Chain A
Amino acid sequence: MRAAIIVFPGSNRDADVARALAQSGAEVVKVWHADTALPAGTDLAVLPGGFSYGDYLRCGAIAGRAAAMDAVRAHAARGGLVLGICNGFQILCESGLLPGVLMRNVDRRFICHRQLLRVERADTRFTSAYAKNQVIDVCVAHGEGNYFADAETIARLEGDGRVAFRYSDAAGNLTVDANRNGSLNSIAGIYSENLNVLGLMPHPENFVEDLVGGTDGRGLFTSLAA
């Protein structure tokens, strides 16, 4: 598994995701946002969390139009894997690689806490190390994570099984309390049509070591490296 992490001005979780990928055996290279090509043999392009371009205009809006994103779009069109975490998910939506938009959290607050997620399917390149409906314990840290799309798009995502993760309680129930940012249908992450692009707001890369609170995030990276 060769992973290319795209670094934008204001990305700040690139080192964490690099570490999580390397821990699972991936070879990791970093790519500057102004680069026009991904390194030869790239299997996975990663858009890390952070605050690209200071969240100016809209979160991910400017990064979504960066030169490297043309290379990421071409990679995705070839069936290459793309993972966007937090700001990376916002960038994927702004770049048109995923539908919908991440709006300001419903209570207007930046939220930063442990978060339980329900894994919606375990038959993708991103989730094979998990079980369907498994509840995992990871983290969220965002001000704009409130997933929104028009009714038609939501119906298509649901109908095609493209919801990757949902905010849930420990029993896997989709409660209002578990969905702190107000996302439609408790959506925490979605796939592209061909299931090769995943965007999610929570940070699995935060929880890959017992030392820092948990290891439930590892599954995502071991799935990718498998």
Chain B
Amino acid sequence: MKARIIVTLKTGVLDPQGKAIEAALTSFGLSGIDSVRQGKVFDVEIAEEDRAAAETTLKSACEKLLANTVVENYAIEIA
């Protein structure tokens, strides 16, 4: 089973890298970009066949290591 985990900064948490990327895009003359926030994507292959069990394992992976829940949110997408 394949899954994708997306980790993003919580609203209100300063994202200096996102700001720099936003400024760079604006400097290319691309108009209409209001804001950029940078995050992380983890593509995970999991042996588990049961979706619910896979989700439990991945949730644990997020809570234990992949996301710092002080400042980050995570979303799990199972293919």
Contacts and interface: CB of A to CB of B under 8 A. Distances in A.
User: Does A pair with B?
Assistant: yes
B68 A182 contact: no
Given A104-B17, A106-B16, A148-B13, A65 B68 contact: no
Contacts, number: 36
Given A103-B13, A104-B16, A108-B16, A149 B70 contact: yes
A58 interface: yes
Given A57-B66, A61-B65, A94-B68, A148 B16 contact: no
B65 A57 contact: yes
A100 B70 contact: yes
Interface residues of A, number: 21
Interface in A151-198: 182
Contact of A58 (B14, B17, B68): B68
A93 B70 CA distance: 10
Contacts of B13: 103, 148
Interface string A44-74: 0000000000000110011001000000000
A108 B66 contact: no
Interface residues on B, range: 10 to 19
Contacts of A99: 70
A123 interface: no
Nearest to A109: B16
Contacts of B20: 108
B70 A182 contact: no
Given A57-B65, A65-B64, A108 B17 contact: yes
A62 B65 CA distance: 8
16 contacts: A57-B65, A57-B66, A58-B68, A61-B65, A65-B64, A101-B70, A101-B71, A103-B14, A104-B16, A104-B17, A105-B16, A106-B16, A146-B14, A148-B14, A148-B71, A149-B70
Given A106-B14, A107-B16, A108-B16, 16 more contacts: A57-B66, A61-B68, A62-B65, A65-B65, A93-B70, A100-B70, A101-B68, A101-B71, A103-B16, A104-B16, A104-B17, A105-B16, A108-B17, A146-B14, A149-B70, A150-B70
Interface of A: 57-58, 61-62, 65, 93-94, 99-101, 103-108, 146, 148-150, 182
By Cβ-Cβ distance, the 8 closest A-B pairs, closest first, are A108-B16, A101-B70, A104-B16, A101-B71, A108-B20, A101-B68, A58-B68, A106-B16
